[in-house]
């Protein structure tokens, strides 16, 4: 039996994983549940883990996996076994695979091009060529438009659950909402994976690691190349 706060937190985590492909930060959980400190979130997380609703993976930032949901929230298992390789964290989940998706296989997987590496750290040169392909579940692809994959280089998004060496699935788009994690092209030649914030004519590219500063640009210096919809991790 879960308390209302435990249910509220589990529901919030579930919705954020469905929307963003990664769990929320403890600060976001604290704000969503209107708690005064993160210690309350730690207690709720521990309680959910002890009751078998979530699983925490050691030595990884924000690595929370939903194992099951109460019947009132859909019930049943919500995550794969820990030993499964690779591990896939789904982003937005459409009812069907977009007709523009390429390389659809009989098992529902889709072969996406891996367009080199994307910097989750200091921006690297713009991505311009296909290095390989990766098979992803078709239901990970969200909305209309083409999708592609990128290998993450660096640790600036670690508090968003995105680690060095992960492969991110990106939906091509030239627009983004505040708070989206995007592939941003900076001044025409640097590509980086960051959280997007716009205020007037200024764009902030935020890291999810306190070791990295938020970078500020005028809107003509940044072009959104795509939005994060999923993540693939191998152990």
Catalytically active residues, by annotation: 156, 194
Apex CA 163: angle with CA 70 and CA 73, to 5°?
Answer: 10
Q: Got the DSSP string for 133-175?
A: EEEEEGGG--SSS-EEEEEEESSTTGGGT--TT-EEEEEE-S-
* CA atoms of 96 and 8, how far apart (whole Å): 29
Cβ atoms of 229 and 141 closer than 8 Å: yes
End-to-end CA distance of the chain: 33
Tokens at residue 191, please? 């590509």
Angstrom distance (rounded) from CA 115 to CA 58: 30
CA pair distance 182, 39, nearest whole angstrom: 30
Report the relative pairing of strands 181-186 and 222-233 from DSSP bridges: antiparallel
d(CA 147, CA 59): 30
């Amino acid at each position: 039996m879960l308390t209302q706060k435990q249910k509220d937190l589990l529901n919030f985590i579930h919705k954020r994983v469905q929307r963003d492909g990664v769990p929320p930060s403890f600060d976001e959980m604290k704000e969503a549940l209107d708690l005064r400190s993160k210690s309350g979130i730690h207690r709720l997380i521990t309680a959910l883990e002890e009751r078998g609703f979530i699983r925490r993976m050691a030595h990884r930032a924000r690595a929370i996996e939903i194992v099951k949901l109460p019947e009132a929230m859909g019930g049943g298992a919500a995550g794969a076994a820990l030993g499964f390789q690779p591990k896939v964290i789904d982003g937005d989940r459409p009812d069907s695979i977009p007709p523009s998706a390429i390389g659809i296989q009989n098992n529902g997987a889709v072969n996406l091009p891996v367009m080199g590496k994307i910097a989750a750290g200091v921006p690297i040169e713009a991505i311009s060529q296909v290095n390989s392909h990766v098979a992803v579940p078709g239901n990970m692809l969200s909305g209309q438009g083409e999708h592609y994959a990128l290998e993450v280089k660096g640790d600036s998004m670690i508090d968003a659950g995105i680690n060095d060496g992960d492969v991110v699935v990106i939906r091509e788009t030239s627009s983004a909402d505040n708070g989206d994690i995007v592939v941003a092209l900076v001044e025409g030649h640097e590509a980086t994976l960051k959280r997007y914030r716009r205020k007037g004519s200024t764009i902030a590219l935020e890291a999810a690691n306190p070791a990295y500063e938020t970078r500020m640009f005028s809107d003509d210096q940044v072009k959104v190349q795509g939005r994060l919809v999923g993540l693939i991790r191998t152990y």
